Amino acid sequence: MKQKLMFLYLKTGGGHLSPARSVAQWIEQNHDNGYKVELVDGFTGVNSIVKLIVEDGYRKSQEKATWVFESLYAIHKLKPIAHLSGWLVSKFVTPILERRILADKPDKIVIFHFFLIKPINEILKRNNLNIPMLTVVTDPFTAHPIWFLDKTQNFIVFSQQLKNHLINTKKIPADNINTFPFILNDKFSSTINDEAKAQIKATLRIPVDSKVILIMGGADGIPKGAKILKRLLQSALNAHIVIVCGRNENLLNQANKLKLKHSAEQLHVFGFVNIVYELLNIADLVITKCGASTFMEVLMCGKIPLINSYIWEQEKGNVEYICNNQLGHYEKKVNQIPILVKGLVFNESKQGFYKNNINRLKLINGTSQVSTFIMQYS
């Protein structure tokens, strides 16, 4: 009989679903006979107002007012506030998840979002269920405080830096913390050859010898995306520009209007796509935000990231990792981006410097290691 693995996530950006899906796909492709993985949105069937506040609130704050999210992050460093938020979400989520768990009877539960830790703990205790539970902390360097309210959990983390922080500051036992390389879709374990890149460019009607600047954030697009695109179009770069807007309909509409206004045949506008891997492989530079999955995908493809925004303090460690290792640039002033782009894209010496630094890290995809650990965990 197959072991049932339940992976729980929320749709607050793509950084929680993406690693859950990557591990699920790896297990199903490599161990289909022994395991069945069920991906469960923790807010399925939950009151629409709760979803609106948590999911849409996250999305809108990223697009319109990052300071709102950052302020909420700051006050959640106060334990009473963190516990209150966890309790409020749990109140709505627990009854629905409880019915799901009792009906499906999973052999293991893996959590990919901090708001689902408290409800799952309550469900397991109330029903005397001896189901192994693992928590995957999807923030690699600086993580949201709510992840660690329960110090008895077993964690999967993606950096020694975060593990040290949990041991020294949060007083979590070292035996409860398991460190692995970051999880990405298995295809990011390798890059595309020149022939395949030429084919992708041909499909997009991009000349094979043309430079490509990719603008993308996570599933919800990139903050200030329209302003960045406008500045690049005004700077008359001798390059093709590809912008991925994700689920951000407002950004998609603005990008299409700019394409029409500037008669920009060299501009390629996409909404939510499943060809991010292909687009990254043909890019010479990637203008992005510093979400965990996004910046790791960029680096795994050997591309130079130009970071325009990040969420304080949750993504602060990601930016520091890029800047301290000289893997790319952080520039929050939109007006300065075209200048940096010209220097990074058309200067072979600078390109070589940053790419050598990226290659020197010898980054690997941790999906197979994490998947194997989850299967063997008890």
Domains delineated in the chain: 3-181+365-376 (3.40.50.2000), 191-360 (3.40.50.2000)
pLDDT at 378: 86
pLDDT at 63: 60
Rounded Cα–Cα distance for residues 247 and 9 (Å): 18
> Which pTM value belongs to this model?
0.89
Tokens (6 digits) for 179: 């460190």
pLDDT at 356: 96
Q: Which of 54, 47, 65, 48 is nearest to 9 (CA)?
A: 54
Write the DSSP assignment of 134-187 as a string of letters: EEE---SSS--GGGGS-TTS-EEES-HHHHHHHHHTS---GGGEEE-PPP--GG
71 three-state secondary structure: helix
Range list of H helices, 145-288: 160-168, 194-203, 225-234, 249-261, 276-282
Cis peptide before 313 (omega within 30 of 0): yes
**Ranges of residues in the chain whose predicted pLDDT is under 50:** none
pLDDT at 283: 96
pLDDT at 36: 95
Instruction: Note the pLDDT tens digit of each residue in 111-163.
Output: 999 999 999 999 999 999 999 999 999 999 999 899 999 999 999 999 999 99
Rounded Cα–Cα distance for residues 263 and 127 (Å): 63
327 three-state secondary structure: coil
pLDDT at 11: 87
Decide: 244 and 215 in contact? Cβ < 8 Å.
Answer: yes
